[in-house]
Amino acid sequence: MNLAVRDIRHNLGRFALTTLGIGMLLMIVMGMAGIYRGLIEDATLLVDRIGADLWIVQRDTRGPFAELSRVPDNLVYRALAVPGVESSREFVLHTIQRQRGRERLRMTVLGLSWPSDKGAWLPLVAGRPLQQNHFELIADRSLGLRLGEQLRLGKESYEVVGLTQGMVSSGGDGMAFVTVPDSQAIQFDRAGEAIRLERAGRERRAATHESFIKQPTLSEQLAGPTSELPAVAPPDISAVLVQVAPGASVDRVAEIIGSWDDVTVHTRQQQKDLLVQGMVDKARRQLGMFRALLTIIAAIIMALILYTLTLDKIHSIALLKLIGAPNRVILGLILQQALVLGALGYAIAYAAGSKLFPFFPRRVVLTDADLVQLAVVVVVISVLASLLGIWRAMRVQPNEALMG
């Protein structure tokens, strides 16, 4: 009978609890790798889904995901006039937080460039794309909204006409999709009292300005909303998305647009790299440090447990040496126990993680490469952890079996 299996049966309770503890530690290590993968997928999800070849953003900025970007809406038509551009559309993105009953509702609102973009590219699991320019909304399931529900945002109510799955922002917030005008109305919504005070301030300044004194009719125009004043430009958008025509050079189009003094242009891959290297970089390094520390802790715990199990077998090991058992038998006993401990811990980690990870607040993505890498790490730390027990077993003298 295999000595390692027999010894495990003899100390089954302790071995089972140790395996469970190692499994939980390895589950956390596995989860941290999955959270990192999830961070990258969430950060680059929208860029991949939209599929734009070029992103035109405010000069010297890294785009609407990394920092504030403001460009005029007429940039859409300027980009469309560039040779090689097949289409261009507006892009508006911002995050809001509202109270929905007793719950806090936080979402990232994306403006779709109506009518060229109705949200047909979204991964809808229920409902339909937008069919009108106002007051319709597509929401991700993570927001907890129901199909047909009326959601109050700003001064208007929006009907949920479609539901998506897995559409979240780089910050992990569920996304909602409306048209660009509705997105701007939500973004720049102001309370009625704030609007009244702004109008009063304009009227007070006009009363002392020479131009308004000479032309009293100008003062009447100040009573309207800011968006209707002829001297006030329409709200800016976050970016302009450009689709390059088939056969045209993306680099050439990017070079032409990049020569403009008021904007910066990023290719799709550059936008993804900026997201990963900027927003995700610190989280990646922090998760990597915790993952390394937990792996070291798991190795130390395994080493101590195997050392303790070896101490409990000192008399048995001495007896084996006394009857002439070769060292490879004793070495195999401890090494096999370490490998069984690591393998069972890995199996527990995978089984528990598969059940628990879907309930985590952030997406956990387990890739085959990460699972194989962790399996190799578990084998390595199992072997290294067994060295302490092997070292102690090799120092046992055969005559210790006669000492009681």
> Mean of the pLDDT values across residues 363-379?
88
> Mean of the pLDDT values across residues 125-139?
91
Q: How far apart are CA 121 and CA 309, in angstroms?
A: 59
Say what the pLDDT of residue 202 is: 65
Q: Which of 70-79, 120-129, 330-339 has the lowest mean pLDDT?
A: 330-339
Task: Say yes or no to pLDDT of 342 above 80.
Answer: yes
Task: Say yes or no to pLDDT of 92 above 50.
Answer: yes
Q: How far apart are CA 113 and CA 80, in angstroms?
A: 14
Q: How far apart are CA 267 and CA 387, in angstroms?
A: 52
Say what the pLDDT of residue 211 is: 60
Nearest Cα to 294, choosing from 83, 31, 60, 20? 31
Which phi and psi angles does 103 have, rounded to 5°? -105, 155
Say what the pLDDT of residue 359 is: 86
**Residue pLDDT, tens place only, 223-251:** 555 555 555 556 788 899 999 999 889 98
Task: Say yes or no to pLDDT of 208 above 90.
Answer: no
Task: Say yes or no to pLDDT of 366 above 60.
Answer: yes
Q: How far apart are CA 170 and CA 280, in angstroms?
A: 9
Q: Which residue has the tokens 């998760």?
A: 287
Say what the pLDDT of residue 351 is: 93
**pLDDT tier for residue 191 given thresholds of 50, 70 and 90:** low
Task: Say yes or no to pLDDT of 53 above 70.
Answer: yes
Tell me if 268 sits within 8 A of 349, measured CB to CB: no
Looking at residue 398, the DSSP 8-state letter turns out to be G
Task: Say yes or no to pLDDT of 77 above 70.
Answer: yes
pTM across the whole model: 0.72
Would you kindly state where each structural domain of the chain is located, as residue ranges?
A: 3-42+281-402, 72-188+235-261, 192-228
Cross-strand partners of 54: 242, 267
> Mean of the pLDDT values across residues 356-366?
85
Tell me if 175 sits within 8 A of 96, measured CB to CB: no
**pLDDT tier for residue 205 given thresholds of 50, 70 and 90:** low
Say what the pLDDT of residue 45 is: 81
Pairing of strands 124-127, 263-267: unpaired
Task: Say yes or no to pLDDT of 98 above 60.
Answer: yes
> Mean of the pLDDT values across residues 21-43?
85
> Mean of the pLDDT values across residues 343-354?
91
Task: Say yes or no to pLDDT of 383 above 90.
Answer: no
> Mean of the pLDDT values across residues 20-40?
86
Task: Say yes or no to pLDDT of 194 above 80.
Answer: no
> Mean of the pLDDT values across residues 200-219?
61
277 or 33, greater pLDDT: 33
**pLDDT tier for residue 349 given thresholds of 50, 70 and 90:** very high
Say what the pLDDT of residue 232 is: 54
Say what the pLDDT of residue 219 is: 57
Say what the pLDDT of residue 220 is: 57
Q: Encoding tokens for residue 207?
A: 């009363």
Q: How far apart are CA 63 and CA 43, in angstroms?
A: 13
Say what the pLDDT of residue 1 is: 42
Q: Encoding tokens for residue 59?
A: 């000069």
Tell me if 88 sits within 8 A of 78, measured CB to CB: no
Say what the pLDDT of residue 347 is: 93
**pLDDT tier for residue 162 given thresholds of 50, 70 and 90:** very high
Element holding 48 (H helix, E strand)? helix 12-50
Q: CB burial class (10 A; 0-12, 13-18, 19+) of residue 209?
A: exposed
**Residue pLDDT, tens place only, 310-338:** 777 766 767 666 666 677 777 777 788 88
**Which of 21-49 are b and which e, b meaning 16 or more Cβ less than 10 Å from the residue's Cβ?**
bbbbbbbbbbbbbbbbbbbbebbbbbbee
The DSSP secondary structure of 320-373, one letter per residue, reads HHHTT--HHHHHHHHHHHHHHHHHHHHHHHHHHHHHHGGGSSS-----HHHHHH
Estimate to the nearest angstrom the gap between the alpha carbon of 211 and the chain centroid.
Answer: 54
> Mean of the pLDDT values across residues 276-286?
75
| Average pLDDT score, the chain | 81
Task: Pick the most confident of 167-176, 206-215, 239-248, 302-311.
Answer: 239-248
Q: Encoding tokens for residue 249?
A: 């050079």
Tell me if 396 sits within 8 A of 316, measured CB to CB: no
Say what the pLDDT of residue 253 is: 92
Alpha helices in 159-234 (DSSP H): 180-187, 192-206, 210-214, 217-221
